[in-house]
Structure 1
Amino acid sequence: MGKYEVKQINNLLNFDFDSLVKQSKEDGFRFVERLVNDYKNGSNTFNHFGECLFGVFNEEGLLVAIGGLNKDPFSNEHSIGRLRRFYVNKAYRRNGIGSLLVKRIIEKAKKYYKIMVLHTDTEQADKFYTSMGFLKENLYPNSSHYMEF
């Protein structure tokens, strides 16, 4: 499928994310739209200590996947990070792009957290995250999966 580059996104508004928002809404997911809205209103810009936002770009520089890391907003524990707003363009799935992005986020999370959690309610995502080493248990608030470092 070509060559891809994972880059940290310091300002989401500098990128064209309309196609990801549109496609995710067509898939029945609103979290990419929430990512953009929260970014625009300043409620979550992934710029606090231990937080980051990454994108995967194709050879033409098009944003084809996105995912972020926040301190878990559902926990008072500072040692828990949360994988958030993770989405891969349909045309780019099952090509290792999601794995590439999750690995980069895990790499970053290990520097700041002891545990990373996430929430998903789809079977496809469950299989993906467990294949990446996450355990499926809701031990942490509003989460379906976790990984200890």
Structure 2
Amino acid sequence: MEQFELKKIKNLLDVNLMDLVTESKKEGFRFLERLINDYKNGTNNFSKSGEVLYGVFNKEGLLIAIGGINKDPFSTNKRTGRLRRFYVSKEYRRMGVGRSLVTRILKDASENYEIIVLYTDTEDANKFYTSVGFIKDNSVSKSTHSLNL
């Protein structure tokens, strides 16, 4: 990961996300567009206690991956976090970028959460998440995977 820089995103509006948004939409994903809309309208700006948003930037300073953690809005357990808005540019997949990003997010999450859940509907994402320790589990509302910290 020497050619990449993983940074906490303090203000999403200061980051150029358009290339990632365009790429993700071509793959059929709309969640990065929702990330921007939710951030702008204040619905979700990763600013509550225990929440964080990270970006990975290449050596040219372009955002190549993004992901964050929120308190799970679908759970009554305050110690349940939800991995959200996780996306790695196709060009940078299978290079350790996603693994480094999720590892950092989970490290931060361990201070505030006992369990992390997420939702995905793709087999590639399922393979990735199980490779980093998540198990297929839909016992928490609107989730497909979980990880006990």
Q: TM-score range by the shorter chain?
A: over 0.9
Q: CA deviation at 1:2?
A: 6.2
Write the letter of the residue equivalent to 1:114: E
Counterpart residue number, 2:148: 148
Say which SS state the counterpart of residue 10 (structure 1) adopts. coil
1:85 pairs with 2:85: yes
Counterpart residue number, 1:20: 20
In 1: Cα distance, 2:94 partner to 2:2 partner: 13
In 2: Cα distance, 1:42 partner to 1:124 partner: 31
Number of aligned residue pairs: 149
Q: CA deviation at 1:147?
A: 0.4
Say which SS state the counterpart of residue 38 (structure 2) adopts. helix
Say which SS state the counterpart of residue 91 (structure 1) adopts. helix
Counterpart residue number, 2:31: 31
Say which SS state the counterpart of residue 124 (structure 2) adopts. helix
Counterpart residue number, 1:129: 129
Counterpart residue number, 2:68: 68
Q: CA deviation at 1:139?
A: 1.3
In 2: Cα distance, 1:109 partner to 1:117 partner: 11
Contact 1:117 1:140 in 2 (8 A): yes
Which structure 1 residue ranges, 5 or more long, are not aligned?
none
Counterpart residue number, 1:108: 108
Q: CA deviation at 1:76?
A: 1.3
Q: CA deviation at 1:5?
A: 1.0
Write the letter of the residue equivalent to 2:3: K
* RMSD of aligned alpha carbons: 1.0
The percentage of aligned residue pairs carrying the same residue is 58
Write the letter of the residue equivalent to 1:127: K
Say which SS state the counterpart of residue 49 (structure 1) adopts. coil
Q: CA deviation at 1:89?
A: 0.7
Write the letter of the residue equivalent to 1:50: G
TM-score, structure 1 normalization: 0.98
Counterpart residue number, 1:94: 94
In 1: Cα distance, 2:127 partner to 2:144 partner: 12
1:9-40 CA distance string (max 9 Å, x none):
01000010000110100000000000011011
Counterpart residue number, 1:5: 5
